[in-house]
Amino acid sequence: MATELILAVDLDDKDVAKKFLAPLCGELSWVKIGLQMFLKYGPGIVDEFADAGFNVFLDLKLHDIPNTVASAIKSLRGRPCGMLTIHTLGGAEMMRRAMEAAADALPQTRLLGVTVLTSMDEAQLSGIGVSRAPMQQVEVLAKLAAESGMRGLVCSPLELPCLRSFLGEEIALVTPGIRPRTAALDDQSRVMTPADAAKSGASYIVVGRPILKADDPVAATRMIQQELR
C-alpha cells in the first residue's frame, strides 16, 4: 500500500487554517486536527474540515476508564472522522470497549493506539515506574494493541522496522517526526525523511511545520508526495 501524507494543522484559527488548506485540496487527502482546535471550536470542527474536502484524523489521545472512553467515542457519533487516537496505556479492556463504541458510532473510523509518547525518554519512564527501555515498552504496548484488535498505531519513524517485523500489514502505522532532507528540524530530534519512512513500512506520515512554514506550501507538499512515490 502506498504511504499517504497527513498534514498536521497545528494552527490556532480555523479560518486561517481553511484559507491555508484551500490551495492544497487537490494535493493531499488527509489533515490532522488535535485538541488545540477541537477544544476551541468543538466537535463541529471535524465536519468543517471534512466539508472542505479532507479526510480528518482527530488526534484526541483518549485515555480514561473503559466506560468513559467508550462514552466519549459515542459522543462523536456520525462525525466524519477517518482516524481517532486513544492511548494503549489505558489497557486491553479500554481498547476493546473503544473499538466496540467506534464500530457502533463511528463505523468509518480507524482507531489508532498511541504507545509511548516520544517526549518520554528512559529517565522519564523510570520516573513513572516503568523500568523498560522506551523501545521495549513500545513493543509491549503495540503487541497488546494488536491482540486487542486495534487496526492502527502511532509510532516514531525509528520504531517502524521493529513494529513492522511483528505486526501484520492490516495494522496501519502512522508516524510523525518526518523531515524532508532540506527542511528545518524544529524541535524534532530523531527524524526520518518521507522516502525512508515509506521504505520502513509507514502507512501514513504526519507532517506539520515543513509544509505550514514553507514559503510555497503547495510546492513543499508536492515534493513530499513525489518522495513518497
Give 83's DSSP letter: E
Cβ proximity to ligand C5P: between 31 and 95 the closer is: 31
99 binds ligand C5P (CB under 6 A): no
Residue 159 exposed, middle or buried by CB count within 10 Å (0-12, 13-18, 19+): buried
Residue 163 CB-half CA count within 13 A: 34
CB of 100: closest distance to ligand C5P in angstroms? 26
- Of 61, 74, 199, 213, the catalytic one is 61
Give 109's DSSP letter: P
**What is the footprint of ligand C5P within residues 128-157 (CB under 6 A)?**
156
Give 128's DSSP letter: T
- Using the rule CB under 6 A, which residue among 5, 7, 8, 58 binds ligand C5P? 8
Cβ proximity to ligand C5P: between 5 and 167 the closer is: 5
- The count of chain residues that interact with ligand C5P, using the rule CB under 6 A, is 14
Backbone phi, psi, residue 19, to 5° = -65, -40
- Using the rule CB under 6 A, which residue among 23, 186, 199, 226 binds ligand C5P? 186
- Using the rule CB under 6 A, which residue among 206, 220, 223, 224 binds ligand C5P? 206
Task: Give the C-alpha distances (Å, rounded to integers) separating 110 from 57, 105, 150, 151, 199.
Answer: 9, 12, 8, 7, 23
> Which range binds ligand C5P by CB under 6 A, 19-27, 86-94, 96-104, 206-214?
206-214
Q: Is 61 a catalytic residue?
A: yes
Q: Identify which of 146, 83, 145 has the alpha carbon closest to the alpha carbon of residue 109.
A: 83
**What is the footprint of ligand C5P within residues 21-50 (CB under 6 A)?**
34
Task: Using CA atoms of 133, 125, 159, 228 in order, give the dihedral in degrees to the nearest 10.
Answer: -160
**Interacting residue ranges for ligand C5P, rule: CB under 6 A:** 8, 10, 34, 117-118, 156, 176-177, 186, 188, 206-209
